[in-house]
Structure 1
Amino acid sequence: MKPIIGITTNYVDDDKFFMDLGLGALGQSYSAVAIDYFNAIKEAGGIPIIIAPTYDTDYLDSVLNLCNGILITGGNDVNPLLYNKNNNSKVGRVLKIRDNSDFYLTEKCIEKDIPLLGICRGIQVLNVVQGGTLYRHIDTNKLLDHSAVNSYKSIISHFIDVEKDSFLYEAFKTTRIGVNSFHHQGIEKLGANLKSIAKSEDGLCESVQMENKKFIVATQFHPEMMFEDEKLYLEIFKLFVKKCKN
């Protein structure tokens, strides 16, 4: 049987946004995620299922028992209080329900050695879970501007250098690869037991893996947005799904 991969989603309480699209009613909230994640897992040979953000840990435990792996997707900024920094005007909207849900799933995947792939917000969640910190807003006077928000999803924004002794190299078979970039935050201090396995030209960490685990890997870039135009980027999902079978 194909491995079942749980995909986390955003919590959206903007009822007007959906009503303007002719959907829903006043007072409704939604679980929403870009279908790129779903398509990447399916194309890589997994069975993707959607996980709504929730405070219900019994539900999340049931999902973990059902799934062979978890994909932590992009979305809202992580609350800076969770890595002992103050909130400020540069931080985007934070949502407690999403933080609680993602942190619980990540912690349990580490504890139970369930394969996990984190993307964008996912790498930041993993880093904070392990006691690391984030740049609340990347200083573009010192580092590249990583927030190419007006770019097409698969356009290469910059290049990253990949460590040979890493899952990322195992997937891509190259030490240098172009990536897209849609984030204004990033890893500052690396969390415990995490290894930086790729960096951008300015030295910012673009990917990590956890040592002595079956597959705990995260990227700051979005390979799910790129694989339809260039199949190479599907390889990280294929490796993830393969690890979920073992």
Structure 2
Amino acid sequence: MKPIIGITANYIDDDKFFMNLGLGAIGQAYSALAIDYSKAINHAGGIPIIITPTYDTEYLDSIINLCDGILVSGGNDVNPLLYNKDNNSKVGRVLKIRDESDFYLTKSCIEKDLPLLGICRGLQVLNVVQGGTLYRHINTDKFLDHSAANSYKSLVSHYINIEKYSLLYEAFQKTKIGVNSFHHQGIEKLGNNLKSIAESRDGLCESIQMDNKKFIVATQFHPEMMFEDDNLYLEIFKLFVNSCKKN
């Protein structure tokens, strides 16, 4: 049987947005996920299922027992209070339900040695779970502007250098690739037991991994948005899904 991969979804409580589309009713909230994630997992040989953000740890434990791997997707900013910084006006909207749900799943994957792939927010969650910190808003005097918000999803924004002998190199077989970029936050202090395995030319971390685990890798860029235009970017999903197969 193909590996079952749980993918975390966003939590959206803007009922007017959906009502303007002719959906739902006043007071409804939604879980939502860009279809790119599911398509990437499906093309890589996995069965994607969507995980609704929740405070219900029994539900999350059931999901973990059902799944062969977890993908923590992009989304809202992580609450700076979770890495001992104050909130400020440059931090985007934070959602307690998403933070608690993603943190619980990420900690469980580490404890149970369940394969985990983090993308964008997923990288930041993994770093904070392990005691790291984030830049709340990237200083463009020091770094590139990494928020190419008006770019087409698969358009290369800049290049990253990949460490040889890393899982990212194992996937791509290249030490330099082009990536898209849709984030305004990034890793400041690296979390415990994590190592940086890719950087942009300005020195900002673009990918991390945890050794001595089946597969714990996260990227700041979005390969799920790029693989349909270039099959190279599917390789990280193939490596992840293969790590989820039962022996």
TM-score (norm 2): 0.99
Q: Secondary structure at the match of 1:109?
A: helix
Q: Secondary structure at the match of 1:188?
A: strand
Query: Counterparts of 1:153 and 1:61 in 2: how far apart (Å)?
Result: 33
Deviating above 6 A after TM superposition, structure 1's stretches of 4 or more consecutive aligned residues are none
Q: Secondary structure at the match of 2:62?
A: helix
Q: Secondary structure at the match of 1:18?
A: helix
The match for 1:155 is: 155
Matches for 1:1-246 after TM superposition, within 5 Å: 1-246=1-246
Deviation at 1:47, TM superposition (A): 0.2
Query: Counterparts of 2:165 and 2:139 in 1: how far apart (Å)?
Result: 30
Query: Counterparts of 2:194 and 2:178 in 1: how far apart (Å)?
Result: 23
| One-letter amino acid of the counterpart of residue 15, structure 2 | D
Q: Secondary structure at the match of 2:244?
A: helix
Query: Counterparts of 2:223 and 2:178 in 1: how far apart (Å)?
Result: 10
Query: Counterparts of 1:90 and 1:202 in 2: how far apart (Å)?
Result: 21
Deviation at 1:160, TM superposition (A): 0.1
Query: Counterparts of 1:205 and 1:177 in 2: how far apart (Å)?
Result: 14
Q: Secondary structure at the match of 2:64?
A: helix
Query: Counterparts of 1:76 and 1:163 in 2: how far apart (Å)?
Result: 28
| One-letter amino acid of the counterpart of residue 98, structure 2 | R
Query: Counterparts of 1:157 and 1:217 in 2: how far apart (Å)?
Result: 21
Q: How many residues align?
A: 246
Deviation at 1:165, TM superposition (A): 1.0
Q: Secondary structure at the match of 2:238?
A: helix
| One-letter amino acid of the counterpart of residue 172, structure 1 | F
Q: Secondary structure at the match of 2:218?
A: strand
Deviation at 1:211, TM superposition (A): 1.3
Query: Counterparts of 2:172 and 2:20 in 1: how far apart (Å)?
Result: 41
Deviation at 1:192, TM superposition (A): 0.2
Which string of whole-angstrom CA distances, capped at 9 and with x for unpartnered residues, describes residues 178-228 of structure 1? Answer: 000000000000000001000001000000000111100000000000000
Q: Secondary structure at the match of 2:189?
A: coil
Query: Counterparts of 2:142 and 2:3 in 1: how far apart (Å)?
Result: 42
Q: Secondary structure at the match of 2:155?
A: coil
Is there any run of 5+ residues in structure 1 with no aligned partner, and where? none
CA RMSD of aligned residues (A): 0.4
TM-score (norm 1): 1.00
Query: Counterparts of 2:46 and 2:166 in 1: how far apart (Å)?
Result: 22
Q: Secondary structure at the match of 1:75?
A: coil
Deviation at 1:154, TM superposition (A): 0.1
Query: Counterparts of 1:62 and 1:135 in 2: how far apart (Å)?
Result: 34
